[in-house]
Amino acid sequence: MTTNLIGARIKALREERKLSQDELARIFGFKDRQTVSAIETGERRVSVEELLLAVEKLGASLDYFTDPFLLVGEGQFSWRQSNAGGVALDAYERVAGRWIAAYRELKSKLGELSPLLRRRLGLTRHHQFEDAMVAGERFAAEFQLGRVPAACLADAMENELQILVLNVDAFDRISGAACRLPELDAVLINRKEVAGRRHFDLAHELFHILTWDAMPPERAEDAGETSKIRVEQLANNFASAVLMPSEALDRHGDWSSVPDAELPVRLGAVANELQVTASALKWRLVATDRLKRAQAQATSDAALRKTRREGKLAPPPLFSKAFIAVIGRALAAGLLSARRAAGLLDMTIDDLGDLLKTYGLESPVDL
């Protein structure tokens, strides 16, 4: 356990308890707050006696300070949710934090370094929605997302940008989240959502990752209220352009000549091909002047929902190949036991073996 990690967790707990450095110094019996500051920044090591004193006086478990598979005071989350509630978000964030922290720790022990530089879009909240759409088009082209960008986006994020993507079984009011660590970015997507929503959420959270420094997102954004917040509007325009670039729209001909009665079926068919929702496609066509706003408004979402291809696209497997591959390599290297790995992922050892096979990975141990 590194000095930096223990110090960061002492600082996080101090701030959570609303204690000053002077007050914490008195608890530890230090002469001044400079000693606390040195501990929190990692300049000074914490002795075993001091660590046990922290457990006793601050009322936290030893694991809180020493377990590398925890995120404490170092990760920032932005949740895409609908009235999930703070308590529920806190609880699920702790669960998700363990997966992200484990991935970070195991990659480091395997000698797999995080990238030194992060990609940025170069957009701010003062940019126009058209600028966000141009950025989305450029992203789809630069990363060669192909005829169905939605089908390739997650792989591009993990393989090209080193952004961890996790498909998870979140509860119903959580659609997904973006997470920023000093050395790692991650996106979580609720795999229970329909495919079109999953893909849009993924592209939306990608925008937050790529603009985090310039436009830090709120910790909890209401998925139903994003149209009222400028940063979220920019994210929506970027996501639409990534998933439905002009080339893909033009491939399906002239939209302005489609009769009103035929429009829902046409929208549904193209949306199913692009693996987006018909409603998202409708408004993307309006934004690019391919469809009149009045015509879009006359086409109800209820009519579009009838065109949804239910049950044809199975949800993706849990987590991702990049994540499970790191778990597998850690098992093979003896950095992780099968029992601990299964417990971390909240599954049985047999389920872990099956998940490795699902991703085409050989089990490194007899599971």
Asked whether residue 313 is assigned to any structural domain, the reply reads: no
Q: Averaged over 228-252, what is the pLDDT?
A: 93
Q: What is the pLDDT of residues 38-52, one digit of tens each?
A: 998 889 998 888 889
Domains: count for the chain: 4
Q: Whose CA is closest to 167, among 147, 192, 148?
A: 192
225 in the same domain as 139: yes
Same domain, 209 and 156: yes
157 with 87, same domain: the answer is: yes
Q: Identify whether residues 80 and 178 lie together within a single domain.
A: yes
Whether residues 178 and 239 fall in one domain:
yes
CA distances from 24 to 36, 48, 73 (A): 7, 17, 17
Do residue 112 and residue 25 come from a single domain?
no
- Report the percent of the chain where pLDDT is more than 90: 59
As a residue count, the chain comes to 367
Q: Is residue 352 part of a domain?
A: yes
Domain membership flag for residue 367: no
Domain-located, residue 225:
yes
In a domain, 276, yes or no: yes
Per the CB < 8 A criterion, the answer to whether 179 and 77 are in contact is: yes
310 found inside a domain: no
What strands lie across the sheet with 184-190, from one edge to the other? 163-168, 184-190, 174-181, 76-81, 220-222
Structure tokens at 352: 């872990």
Sign, Cα dihedral of 15, 21, 27, 29: positive
pLDDT tops 90 at residue 139? yes
- Domain boundary, last residue among 197, 223, 243: 243
From 211, 228, 243, give the residue that closes a domain. 243
Decide if pLDDT at 10 tops 50.
yes
Same domain, 115 and 86: yes
Q: Are residues 39 and 120 in the same domain?
A: no
Question: Residue 248 is encoded by which pair of tokens?
Answer: 């893909």
Query: What pLDDT, in 10s, does the model give residues 28-39?
Result: 899 889 999 999
| Shared domain check, 339 and 282 | no
CA distance 58 to 114: 33
Looking at the predicted structure, is the pLDDT value of residue 3 above 70? no
Query: Final residue of a domain: which of 243, 267, 286?
Result: 243
The residue-averaged pLDDT of 226-240 equals 88
Q: In the chain, what's the furthest Cα-to-Cα distance?
A: 80
CA separation (Å) from 201 to 149, 238, 304, 306? 14, 11, 19, 21
Alpha-carbon span 190 to 202, nearest angstrom: 10
Distance CA 309, CA 300 (A): 17
Asked whether residue 62 is domain-assigned, the answer is yes
- 115 and 192 part of one domain: yes
Domain co-membership, 113 together with 163: yes
- pLDDT for res 224: 64
Look at residue 299 in the predicted model and tell me its pLDDT: 84
What is the CATH classification number for the domain harbouring 53? 1.10.260.40
When pLDDT is cut at 50, 70 and 90, the band that residue 349 belongs to is: very high
pLDDT computed for residue 1 by the predictor? 47
Contacts of 14-19 spanning 24+ positions with Cβ under 8 A: 14/40, 14/58, 15/73, 16/73, 17/58
| Token pair in block for residue 118 | 């992060």
Indicate whether 165 and 177 sit together in one domain. yes
Range of the domain at 300: 246-305
pLDDT, one tens digit per residue, over 246-262 is 999 999 888 888 888 88
pLDDT at 366: 67
Secondary structure letter of residue 295 according to DSSP:
H
Domain assignment present for residue 164? The answer is yes
∠ CA 171-172-176, rounded to 5°: 75
